[in-house]
Amino acid sequence: MGAALGWGALAASSLVVGAVLVIPATPARPVEDIARLATPPPWYQLYVTTDRGATREEAQRAQAAGCTVLLVTVDGAAAGVRNFMMRSPFGAIATPAELRTGADTSLTWKDIAWLRSFLRIPIVLKGILDPQDAERAVAEGA
């Protein structure tokens, strides 16, 4: 879907239907190239990883490219149970933690505050299911 011509078509389609383009974490093309194609300006999806330097660089790069919202995935650290990922004919069954999604499993509200400390764009948290967490997200500026 995100091949060289695909991103242009996706950006044009989002404009036609009045949707915002969300650039996925680690896209196949540079975020700057994709952001230039999008009207209105795109959002960027981010997984906070254990490498905070890389996470910071990725978030700042998206902001510099013109992304207007950082969509932080907060439920990616606990991968859902998917049978095809867990079944192995020759070994033990993998647990969600062993699936290694790349997201930091120790993500806390302090990490959201850390992102807020250096970003000028709004942060939206993706994956909140509990109403109290939603209220807390608003209180934390996300």
Write down the pLDDT at residue 85. Answer: 54
* Residue 27 pLDDT exceeds 90: no
Nearest to 122 by CA among 71, 69, 55: 69
Are the C-beta atoms of 69 and 45 separated by less than 8 Å?
no
Half-sphere exposure of 37 (CA within 13 A, CB side): 21
Quick: pLDDT tens for 118-140: 999 999 999 998 999 999 999 98
> What's the full length of the chain, in residues?
142
Most confident of 9-23, 91-105, 116-130: 116-130
Quick: pLDDT tens for 33-85: 889 888 889 999 999 988 999 999 999 999 999 999 999 998 865 555 555 55
Write down the pLDDT at residue 29. Answer: 84
- pTM as predicted: 0.79
Write down the pLDDT at residue 109. Answer: 93
pLDDT-based confidence at residue 14 (cuts at 50, 70, 90): confident
Write down the pLDDT at residue 56. Answer: 96
Most confident of 5-19, 53-67, 77-91, 97-111: 53-67
Write down the pLDDT at residue 92. Answer: 54
**Higher per-residue confidence, 141 vs 12:** 141
Strand order in 22-23's β-sheet?
A: 22-23, 43-46, 69-73, 123-126
